[in-house]
Structure 1
């Protein structure tokens, strides 16, 4: 299900000329390994249909190598199923991740996107994320814009 959703998102992006994920970039085996590590979380509608998913990570050494473990939480692979999701699904998934981080006692959420994906960058800014840098992958992948958001402490 996650692989099929990811593949659908990859095709949708490619059809629109958006450089975010390459078609076939992530294999079934990679996603299965991420699931086994407990990284994936899905959003489910009231009708019990999966509408989106994201990876919620305690570390991200590939994109944020200088951040010590436990200093933040990281979101990767945010995706919505365009066949079943409604407007606001992506924002709701991120709000869930932010609430989980706050519950975990973490005050910072971090994520990234391909630098040329201006629409996604605007989406993240609209949700209160601030651009804090850039990460280059030495030609192995597109440059990424780094975002973070300071989270409010949990209320009693």
Structure 2
């Protein structure tokens, strides 16, 4: 899902940005998602500090030795019976605040070890899109996906 989001978030010459509605399988909706909005850098990653996060705490404790922390507390994000649109909104608000704190310190690479909980992923990457639109070159997110015995890097979310 993250690689597809990045593909569609990429600006397209001659095409305008479009904000699309987000609707979850439970019928709830979330804030629109900007697509065709970002000019991603195709160059090498910058020489910035790296922070490593798992998206949700307590989901995959076997990764604890690989990461610096969890982006979201599982208890706050994975609430049974809560509409996914509300979870997405919480994930967006938390992510926007955390990205602002990171940006205030210095440009940073965030290695994000993924989980598949859609509203958390969508809220996080919506916040990344907005951060990169408002503050180009302030953060770089590199998704990390579990594949077999280890992790593969996804395409970097970096603008200049």
Give the TM-score band, short-chain normalised. Answer: 0.3 to 0.5
TM-score by length of 2: 0.32
Q: Could you say which structure has the greater relative contact order, defined with CA pairs below 8 angstroms and 6 or more residues apart?
A: 2
TM-score by length of 1: 0.33
